[in-house]
Structure formats: C-alpha cells, structure tokens
Amino acid sequence: METTAVRGRLTWQTAAVTAITRETDAVSTIELNPPDWPGHRAGQHLDVRLTADDGYAAERSYSIASAPGEPLAITVQRLENGEVSPYLTEELRVGDQLELRGPIGGYFVWEPADHSPVMLIAGGSGVVPLRSMLRHRQLVGSDVPARLLYSSRTWPDVIYRGELDHYRDGVRVIWTLTNSQPPGWTGYSGRVNAAMLTETVWPASEHPLAFICGPTTFVEVVAEHLLGLGYPPERVKTERFGGK
C-alpha cells in the first residue's frame, strides 16, 4: 500500500459556525470557520468535541464534506439514539462555536494526480467524503472520468441531490433507491448487488481506483463484488461506519 506521512500535532481549536444547510430531514451540512485550519485532502475527516456546562464532553469523528480550498464543512446525519448528531443537526445555530481538530486520515483520500478512472460507491451518508472528492475534481479542472453509484433508501433521503444531479463533463451519477421509488423513476431499485455493479462500475481493465463508503454490511458486500469483478484489493479503499 502506498504511504504518505502525516505528521505534526493536531490541536483542538474553536471554530465559528458560519452556515447550516438542511440537506434532508435528518441531515445537515455545517460550515465552519476554524482560526487555524492547515488544509485537508478529499476524503479526510475531523474530530468534533461538545462540552456540557458541567464539564462533560463527547467527541465524534465526521467526514469532511467540502473540497480542499473551500470553506470547511461537515455533513452530519442525525442518529435516533445519538448523543452528538442530534445536537449538531437540531440545536446548533449559525454563530455558535464548535471545537474541532483535524484533518485526520490519509488512506481514504483521492488525489487529482492519480489519473485512473474513479469509482465512487456510497451508501446513505457515506456519500459525504465522496462528495468532497467530486467537488475537488471539479475545482481543480481534472478530466479524470468519475462515476458515483449512490444507494439511498428513498428519494427524499438523497443527500446533495441537486448538486449531484448537475454534474456533467466526465462525471456520471447512478442512483439506486432501496425502499421506495418516486413515480417515473428511471434509476435502479433495490440494494446494490452483483448485477448492478457489473452494469455500472468501470471495468477492471481500465485500472480504476474505487472508494466505498457506507454502513458495514454495504461496504462488505460491495467490496467483495468488486474483487469478484477483478479489482485488485489495493485499488479498493473502504470506509465503514455504524454497527452491523
């Protein structure tokens, strides 16, 4: 596996919340203005710390949603029994302060210098770091061909819907909806499976680089199928979240 050293101490800093965008009923994008952000690469994440007035603190990691060079943003999905995500999506307001540190991670990262076709495969809020990659590709004017296969439960659950719908020029977005489909739906229906992947992913002969992000079982199934289609394991980068 290739390695890129990331060194230096990550210190906590207090950022101001500069904008909040509601993406879906349960998902918000939070734009932040940290005083000393060292920059990030597409696919990295950061740590957030909340502190109650009695000193109790809770920390979580979130994928960075914005491209390198853009104002820093995270996209957060509210988890029903969560401790931090309900606060970030329901309570937090523009002007509030939020403690964070980062960026973190260096393997699940896309660099424009890699000229391989990019295969992005997302389940639910797993689309967040992949969105950073697509925006990064757009901002640097890369002509690397990219595909995003994005699985959501329903059309209203789709995050970044308008934005993803507008990609042209070398980007193809393929949708699948697992639970229900709107009238006239022309995308895929049902969970990502071998047949869907065979029809939609770059053939292994084009030496693609794949990024898969989503719930554990989703990632396990998709990664397994990509190996079956001839993708070498070192060209399949994964990020999993949540329980089984």
Instruction: Tell me: does residue 80 bind other proteins (CB under 8 A).
Output: no
Q: Which is nearer to other proteins, 10 or 204 (CB)?
A: 10
DSSP secondary structure string, the chain? Answer: -------S----EEEEEEEEEEEETTEEEEEEE-TT-----BT-EEEEEEE-TTS-EEEEEEEB-SPTTSPPEEEEEPPTT-SSHHIIIII--TT-EEEEEEEE-SSS-B-TT--SPEEEEEEGGGHHHHHHHHHHHHHTT----EEEEEEESSGGG-TTHHHHHT--TTEEEEEEESS---TT--SEESS--HHHHHHHSPPGGG--EEEEEEEHHHHHHHHHHHHHTT--GGGEEEEEES--
The number of angstroms, rounded, from the C-alpha of 106 to the middle of its chain's C-alpha atoms is 14
In the list 33, 71, 107, 115, the residue contacting other proteins (rule: CB under 8 A) is 107
Place of tokens 């965008």: 21
Instruction: Tell me: does residue 111 bind other proteins (CB under 8 A).
Output: no
In the list 37, 87, 155, 167, the residue contacting other proteins (rule: CB under 8 A) is 87
| Least distance between other proteins and beta carbon 91 (Å) | 5
Question: Does residue 43 come out as left (phi exceeding 0), alpha (psi in the -120 to 50 range) or beta?
Answer: left
Instruction: Tell me: does residue 144 bind other proteins (CB under 8 A).
Output: no
List the structure tokens of 54: 């009695």
Instruction: Tell me: does residue 234 bind other proteins (CB under 8 A).
Output: yes
Instruction: Tell me: does residue 6 bind other proteins (CB under 8 A).
Output: yes
The residues in 203-232 that bind other proteins, with binding defined as CB under 8 A, are 216, 219-220, 223-224, 226-227
Return the range that interacts with other proteins (CB under 8 A); candidates 55-63, 113-121, 143-151, 181-189: 55-63
| Least distance between other proteins and beta carbon 101 (Å) | 8
| Least distance between other proteins and beta carbon 8 (Å) | 7
| Least distance between other proteins and beta carbon 56 (Å) | 4
Instruction: Tell me: does residue 166 bind other proteins (CB under 8 A).
Output: no
Return the range that interacts with other proteins (CB under 8 A); candidates 91-99, 139-147, 152-160, 170-178: 91-99
- Residues making contact with other proteins (CB under 8 A): 1, 3-10, 12, 14, 49-53, 56-61, 81, 83, 87, 91, 96-99, 104-108, 216, 219-220, 223-224, 226-227, 233-234, 236-238, 240-244
